[in-house]
Amino acid sequence: MEVVNKYVSLKHHVDGYPSESDFELATTPLQPAPGSGEVIVKNLFLSVDPYQLNRMKRYSSSHTAITAASKIEPGQRIDACGVGKVVASGRAELEEGDVVAGLLGWEQYTVVRPGTVLMKVDAKDLPISYYASVLGPSGLTAFAGFYDVCKPKKGEKVFISAASGSVGSLVGQYAKLSGCYVVGCAGSKQKVDLLKGKLGFDDAFNYKEEADLKSALRRYFPEGIDIYFDNVGAAMLEAAVANMNSFGRVAVCGAISEYTNAGERAAPDLIDIIYKRITLRGLLSVDYLHLHEQFSAATSDHLRRGRMIALEDVSVGIESVPTAFVGLFRGDNVGKKLVRVGELEG
């Protein structure tokens, strides 16, 4: 019996806001038996992340920076992190039925080539979706970005943009666990309530209701900001820098408001950066694989003890990937956006 693999691909490069019509669903027959060293994975949860937009552009300086951010050509399958079940294994250390996390793709099945890391996951410990969200690259980004780049001290004042998003929601929780004062911003009342309620932020605000971001931050941080975890760039970064304290640190994790608009830029005041000796640092989770074990152990423990919450926003079916992705840029998602494309059983 021939197995058919449905996958999402680009119709054309995307510059600017993406829309559902930029994508198409295609099918390809799947080889039932893996080649030498290959593993066939039935995908269960796929990660949908804003950075993929940079890969879809005709040109972006990100294309040559790291392999994981290489340019996506129209018609190609699109690799993406996820969790799946091994259905056929050409690797000695994996067998049929194993649940694995790693670089899969926006498709129902992924043929994983030799050399690509697949991490075996204990499906009985924590929900397997966690390995594509809080325990996946978004989690490592939050952990490494907060602890390694921001170097928090107890009592410091932390500001997080896109705070209900995949990374922001975790940074806020790590910051609270570290004894920091934490304020987040997000784009709806529902998200703001969630930050203050379920996630335990000290405060939160809807940036869409603030005419002047600089004075909004002055209101929320009368003693200034020590750490800014930036997921959006542009005007919010400028406002944060203007409100930072001496020796403030900015983790530049994402710039979602710039991804869709090449003309949108942050122009922070260099006089602030110099006189307040502010550090801005870009980060990618790929540089922190050496922290993975520590991150994973600490975070799993927090989750098991209920000290952290995994905020997931799950759509169902491979067909929903384009809408899930496009929705990231409309602020539709609350927490980590995932698409469930298969069931563990069966």
Q: Which residues lie near a second copy (CB under 8 A)? A: 54, 60-62, 65-66, 69, 233, 237, 242, 246, 252-255, 258-259, 265-284, 287
d(CA 60, CA 139): 25
d(CA 238, CA 217): 11
Distance of CA 291 to the CA centre of its chain: 17
Residue 272 beta carbon to a second copy: minimum distance, rounded to whole angstroms: 5
d(CA 106, CA 341): 9
- DSSP states of 89-122: E-STT--TT-EEEEEEESBSEEEEPTTS-EEEE-
Residue 218 beta carbon to a second copy: minimum distance, rounded to whole angstroms: 12
Residue 161 tokens read as: 């943009």
Q: Torsions phi, psi of 97, nearest 5?
A: 95, -15
d(CA 314, CA 342): 12
**Between 144 and 180, whose beta carbon lies closer to a second copy?**
144
Residue 57 beta carbon to a second copy: minimum distance, rounded to whole angstroms: 9
Sign of CA dihedral 41, 45, 46, 49: negative
d(CA 50, CA 185): 18
**Between 54 and 333, whose beta carbon lies closer to a second copy?**
54
Residue 37 beta carbon to a second copy: minimum distance, rounded to whole angstroms: 30
**Between 139 and 254, whose beta carbon lies closer to a second copy?**
254
**Between 118 and 283, whose beta carbon lies closer to a second copy?**
283
Residue 228 beta carbon to a second copy: minimum distance, rounded to whole angstroms: 13
Residue 263 beta carbon to a second copy: minimum distance, rounded to whole angstroms: 10
Distance of CA 264 to the CA centre of its chain: 21
**Between 112 and 284, whose beta carbon lies closer to a second copy?**
284
Q: Which of 26, 21, 14, 4 is nearest to 50 (CA)?
A: 14
If you search the block for the tokens 């998602």, which residue do you land on? 333
**Between 103 and 266, whose beta carbon lies closer to a second copy?**
266
**Between 36 and 67, whose beta carbon lies closer to a second copy?**
67
251 secondary structure, DSSP code: E
**Under a CB-based contact definition with an 8 Å cutoff, are residues 231 and 172 in contact?**
no
Q: Torsions phi, psi of 30, nearest 5?
A: -100, 135
Residue 90 beta carbon to a second copy: minimum distance, rounded to whole angstroms: 33
Residue 78 beta carbon to a second copy: minimum distance, rounded to whole angstroms: 18
d(CA 80, CA 250): 27
Q: What is the CA radius of gyration of the chain?
A: 20
**Between 106 and 259, whose beta carbon lies closer to a second copy?**
259
**Between 273 and 309, whose beta carbon lies closer to a second copy?**
273
Residue 109 beta carbon to a second copy: minimum distance, rounded to whole angstroms: 30
Strand residues in 22-68 grouped as ranges (E): 23-30, 39-47
